[in-house]
Structure 1
Amino acid sequence: MTNWRPDPLQLRRPAYLSLAEQIASAIHDGKLVNGTRLPTHRKLAEDLKLSIQTVSRAYDELIRRGMIAGEVGRGSFVQTRPREPEPPYLPERLGEVIDLSILKPVCEQIHLDRMREAFTWLGENLPSSSALSFRPNMVFPRHRAVATDWLNLCGLDVSPLNVNLTNGATSGMTVALMSVAPPGSTVATEAISHHTLVPLSTYLGIHLEGLAIDADGMIPDALDAACRNGPIRAVFLQPSVVNPTATLMSAKRRRELAAVASRHDIAIIENDVLGPMVENRPPPVQSFAPERTLYVTSFTKITVPGLRIGYLVAPDRYVAAVANRHLVSNWMATPAIAEIATRWVSNGTAMELVNWQRKALARRHDIAAQALTGLAYHAHPQSLHVWMPLTCQHTEDGFVAQARLRGVAIAPGASFQTADHGRVPAVRISLGSTSESELRTGLGIIASLAQGNPEALLLAI
């Protein structure tokens, strides 16, 4: 190890996380270079007057982040080589952390009750085709027909032949991108977009071009200019408040973007996972350009996270491509889960849970409005989160780290960034991922950090 040492006077509770942040900052600042051997757990515990368990947890946290590597018999070493992108949320829920980092719906006993009832019903009514068939066309015709009823609530008028069932929105996004953008091509999207879109495009060999946005979403002139300057194959849009900035795009803007896509003959991928939960929303982009729009929606964010099923609507020109890409990447959606979704759409349970979610989110937004009084943030009554820009006195990484040190996990805005230009540092704060009591406490901590002395918020290194 170099001459750099953690400062015991700068440790805060929880001590393991504070220690991990000190070491992470030293690695980031170049004080600990790649390959540096760290002290043994016992030696560092003795130097800092901590327990061995605390040091072990700090090292485990750094291993999880991909910043150090442990080698049996040799010790722990700094690892600064390129690594896989980290998700904006905590991969595991740590007991002492109020987790406002992961985007999920509000869930209470009613959701568990409905799922248990559904599985009880499924045990008595599972069709043989859903258990025994390998052929999607033997399993899903009935489900596609019911799907059109749900899609009608989303604002679409489509044939069952244009509907594919997927294992959620991520599966739908993947198939849609594979169907319209071959490796080496370019897809345009908002400068702040879906956090999985950047790594997904990388894995598929697709170049992603982030375009300028305003308070109404992607700017049409920016899309037009991108199409004129290079071969854009498709544009990926999130127009209805699930986007990181919680923007509900106007009908006028949706129509304008559809017109640009039509003029340049590019495909549109519309990610609309909240579907009918967003009240008084404009028609989907698909309604303005149905001949070129691949529309993705799902149930996990508006009913129950375990209902991992969704719909991908493809226009006639892409039906065969979507079917083939879905076969090679997923084969087919999970039939048993599809049975539950179809039953819930048919008997009204899905809309019951959507209406319940709206009311629960209304309470959460009231809590946010009270806790964040005086602070600028963006939200929508049906958004699962708020987007809070940071003032110039705060760095994004520093603010997120200080929140973690005080027991609150939030998502950094950089996780959603697809372009370097014009972005203001910000954080995404989930409203549905924990209890109302924890939410109130967590938001209070975030508010105090945002309003506090900037010198007190700097990472101690």
Structure 2
Amino acid sequence: MTNWRPDPLQLRRPAYLSLAEQIASAITDGKLSDGTRLPPHRKLADDLKLSVQTVSRAYDELIRRGLISGEIGRGSFVQTRPREPEPPYLPERLGEVIDLSILKPVCEQIHLEKMRQAFGWLSENLPSSSALSFRPNMVFPRHRKVAVEWLARCGLDVSPLNISVTNGATSGMTVALMSVAPPGSTIATEAISHHTLVPLSTYLGLHLEGLAIDEEGMIPAALDEACRKGPVRAVFLQPSVINPMAALMSEARRRQLADVAARHDIAIIENDILGPMVEDRAPPIAAFAPERTLYVTSFTKITVPGLRIGYLAAPDRYVAAVANRHLVSNWMATPAMAEIATRWVSDGTALELVNWQRQALKSRHAIAAEALAGLSYRAHPQSLHVWLPLPGGHVEDSFVSQARLRGVAIAPGSSFRTADQGWTPAVRISLGSTTESELRTGLGIVASLAQGDPEALLLAI
């Protein structure tokens, strides 16, 4: 660090935020240049007569703002140059790390065999249009008709003319956002939402506004207030378990949100990638607001990760926009994958794998219940993950770092945060990304850290 030091006399409550503001101002004013190494947590705490936890919270706030970066074993450094957001999961599994960071369905030999059989069938039955045509309307009419069957299982009655076949949910989300909101628009979403939505909105020039949530998801009054305060073009919702908190929204809440959207004439983008795997769920929001909802679902999280195909169902007024945005961003979905998805929907394989996944998750949730006993966490019998709010005193960044040092990768909750108000540090833990044995070991390590002394974790950094 340079000769500049925070002034302890200028600290105000809350001290961590006041300290973060001092350092942020020094960076903005050029007193701290890019790459400058900040003092270790304990040294700065001693210098300023603060607790280590307060300094760590200040550093966490600066990391969240993108002003500094923390490197395990090296320290914290000023970062003034723009940096691409890092995914909450490991980009690849390294060494002996138990990877509970990436959201995956449970996969065993049956999934590999199903895909091998599908490619064997495809080698003998690939239509010429799927191999030789550049025109989506020459390739996908048959697939859209079969998609109607799958969307009916999801709770929707949709015409094939309103369905686009996409390369999975991310493609569907991107096209939906581009179709309803021009650059500069405001998109409302839950305060804890899809991790891809934050950078995607930035890339598309959209303003993302995180709104208050409860145990069911977005609070309708919060959406109504946001729409009254300023122009909101659309709301992005994940009402069925796939959201970070694994919440399942009731039918009453879905109807209320649909009513608010209708009152303010805004579009709804509904991400429902678990589809029929979630038992006893209410119909999709799209069923209550079909005239304004763009509904996204896919197969990767409920059948086989390699089956990167999905459906985007759009109301009449957005069909042309969806087709055009899909053309410029993807041209069309991969025909070979569409052939497999269509066959699996038609012959029952897709539903078979969905039922298999549902049963496999029962075992995973039983392991989680045993390993995390005594801790308050959120889950659903068909969720692919658990959401663990960190007990009092734990700092999220330190917790994730210590888990990683002990051989377990987990996703920091801040990667899913879209609003600052009411934030509680948390981690998301995938249940399907590894073997049951590794899951039990990994959860045991996470539980021991959560039940341990937060100060000890901070001292270890």
Q: How does 1:246-285 map to 2 (within 5 A)?
A: 246-285=246-285
Bigger mean CA offset, 273-282 vs 450-459: 450-459
Partner of 1:176: 176
Q: For the Cα contact (< 8 Å) 2:168–2:298, is it kept in 1?
A: yes
Q: How does 1:249-328 map to 2 (within 5 A)?
A: 249-328=249-328
Change in Cα spacing, 1:137 to 1:84, as seen in structure 2 (3 Å) is same
Asked if the contact 1:148/1:158 (under 8 Å) is kept, the reply is yes
In the alignment, the residues of structure 2 paired with residue 97 and residue 249 of structure 1 have an alpha-carbon distance, to the nearest angstrom, of: 34
Q: SS where residue 444 of structure 1 aligns?
A: helix
Q: Tell me, yes or no, if the aligned pair for 1:402 and 1:459 is still in contact at 8 Å.
A: no
The answer for the alignment partner of 2:93 in structure 1 is: 93
Amino acid at match of 2:175: V
| Amino acid aligned to 1:106 | V
Q: How far 1:79 moved relative to its partner?
A: 5.5
Aligned 1:200-211 pairs, distance under 5 A: 200-211=200-211
- Which amino acid in 2 is paired with 1:353? L
Runs of at least 4 residues of structure 1 off by over 3 A?
27-30, 66-69, 77-80
Q: Which amino acid aligns with 2:359?
A: K
| 1:389 aligned residue | 389
- Superposed displacement of residue 454, structure 1: 2.1
Q: Secondary structure at the match of 1:458?
A: helix
Match of 2:243 in 1: 243
- Aligned equivalents of 1:168, 1:86: Cα separation in 2: 21
Query: C-alpha deviations, 1:112-168, integer Å up to 9, x for none?
Result: 000000000000000000000000000000000000000000000010000000000
> Which amino acid in 2 is paired with 1:227?
C
Matched with 1:460 is 460
Q: Secondary structure at the match of 1:221?
A: helix
TM-score by length of 2: 0.84
Distance in 2, Cα, partners of 1:400 & 1:160:
45
* 1:118 corresponding residue in structure 2: 118
| Distance in structure 1 (CA, Å) of the matches to 2:459 and 2:298 | 40
- Corresponding residue number in structure 2 for 1:72: none
Give yes or no for contact 1:398–1:459 (8 Å, CA) kept in 2: no
Query: Which residue does the alignment assign to 1:108?
Result: 108
Does 1:448 find its partner at 2:448? yes
Q: Which residue of 1 aligns with 2:161?
A: 161
CA–CA distance in structure 2, aligned partners of residues 264 and 34 of structure 1: 45
Give, in angstroms, the shift of residue 33 of structure 1.
6.0
**Letter of the aligned partner of 2:325 in structure 1?**
R
Q: Which amino acid aligns with 2:273?
A: V
**Structure 1 residue 348 and structure 2 residue 348: aligned?**
yes
Which residue identity does 1:347 align to in structure 2? D
| SS at 2:142 equivalent | helix
SS at match of 1:232: coil
Q: Would you say 1:196 and 2:193 are equivalent positions? A: no
Root-mean-square deviation (CA, aligned residues, Å) is: 2.2
TM-score w.r.t. length of structure 1? 0.84
User: Cα–Cα, structure 1 residues 412 and 186, in superposed 2: closer, same or farther, change >3 Å?
Assistant: same
Q: Is the 8 A contact 2:223 2:260 kept in 1?
A: yes
Q: Which amino acid aligns with 2:290?
A: P
1:391 Cα deviation from its structure 2 partner: 1.7
Residues 67 and 80 of structure 1 are in contact (CA less than 8 Å); yes or no, is this contact kept in structure 2?
no
2:404: which partner in 1?
404
How far the C-alpha of 1:395 sits from its partner, in A, is 0.5
1:236 alignment partner, SS class: strand
Change (3 A) 1:235 1:36: closer
The residue number in structure 2 matching 1:360 is 360
Match of 1:438 in 2: 438
- SS of 1:381's equivalent? coil
Distance 2:262 2:222 in 1: 15
Q: Is the 8 A contact 1:68 1:78 kept in 2?
A: no
Cα deviations by residue, 1:341-376 (Å, 9 ceiling, x for unpaired): 000000000001000000100000000000000000
TM-aligned CA distance change 1:323 to 1:369, over 3 Å: same
What secondary structure sits across from 2:233 in the alignment? strand
Match of residue 378 from structure 2 = 378
Contact 2:395 2:454 in 1 (8 A): no
State how far apart, in whole Å, the 2-side matches of 1:127 and 1:216 are: 45
Cα distance in 1 between the residues matched to 2:438 and 2:98: 6
- Describe the superposition over 1:380-417 as per-residue Cα deviations: whole angstroms up to 9, x where unpaired: 00000000001221011111111001100000110000
Question: In the comparison of the two structures, how many residue pairs are matched?
Answer: 404
Q: State the Cα distance separating 1:271 from its structure 2 match.
A: 0.2
Residue in 2 that maps onto 1:133 = 133
The DSSP-based 3-state class of the residue aligned with 1:373 is: coil
Is the contact made by 2:167 and 2:333 (CA closer than 8 Å) also made in structure 1? Answer: yes
| AA aligned opposite 2:242 | V
Deviation of 1:81 after TM superposition, in Å, equals 2.2
User: Which amino acid counterpart does residue 256 of structure 1 have in structure 2?
Assistant: Q
One-letter amino acid of the structure 2 residue matched with residue 369 of structure 1: A
CA distance in 2, matches of 1:79, 1:387: 30
Matching residue's letter, 2:331: W
Alignment of 1:44-55 (within 5 A): none
Q: Which residue of 2 aligns with 1:23?
A: none
Gaps spanning 5+ residues in structure 1: where?
4-26, 38-65, 70-76
Which one is further off, 445-454 or 121-130? 445-454
Q: What secondary structure is seen at the aligned counterpart in 2 of 1:338?
A: helix
How much does 1:95 deviate?
1.9
Alignment partners' CA distance in 2, 1:170 and 1:333: 12
> Deviations along 1:66-122, whole A, 9 cap, x unmatched?
9699xxxxxxx9855220001000011112110000001000000000000000000
CA distance in 1, matches of 2:80, 2:401: 19
Structure 2 distance, partners of 1:341, 1:159, is 18
